[in-house]
Amino acid sequence: MDYIGVLDGVLDFKFRDIMFEVATQGQGYTNNKDLEMKLKCHFSNYPSNFVLLLFLDNHDTDRFLFTCNGDVNQKNIAFDVMKYLPYPHITYYGTEINMMNKTSIYGMDNADGDVREPMDRSIAYTSVNK
């Protein structure tokens, strides 16, 4: 919220944190009233003309599928929640084809290389053309 009036918008790390919390606590996203309330409260803090860019993962975070312990269905539902909210969203390359880091990037020197691996184009091509 420090950027309201300074910038037109920001990456919404708080949204990612909320989605991460649901994934790690195993609550699930479908019919989750607590999640709905947290998101409503979160978004109410911002003026309607301030652009919040939603994302689940990026080059500085663990991949969301890693957060979901490899549960592709949970990742897909979280992605659906994000894309149906009335805010622009960003998909980090590889998330759509279920790329996942092997270990957490937090607390390790240069560990973010694991989430910056090149995309396997053959998997990407196959996934898109099914």
- Is 81 or 125 the better-scoring residue by pLDDT? 81
For residue 117, give both structure tokens. Answer: 């691996």
Which of 82-85's residues contact partners 24+ apart within 8 Å by CB, and which partners? 82/15, 82/19, 82/54, 82/55, 82/56, 85/39, 85/54
The mean predicted confidence, pLDDT, of the chain is 85
**Could you tell me the domains of the chain?**
9-128 (3.20.20.80)
- Residue 34 CB neighbours (<10 A): 12
User: In 1-130, at which residue ranges do the beta strands (DSSP E only) sit?
Assistant: 9-11, 51-55, 89-90
pTM for the full predicted model: 0.84
For 84-129, what is each residue's pLDDT tens digit? 999 999 999 999 999 998 888 887 766 667 778 877 777 655 555 4
CA dist 75 and 129 (Å) reads: 20
For 28-44, what is each residue's pLDDT tens digit? 888 899 999 999 999 99
Termini Cα distance of the chain? 42
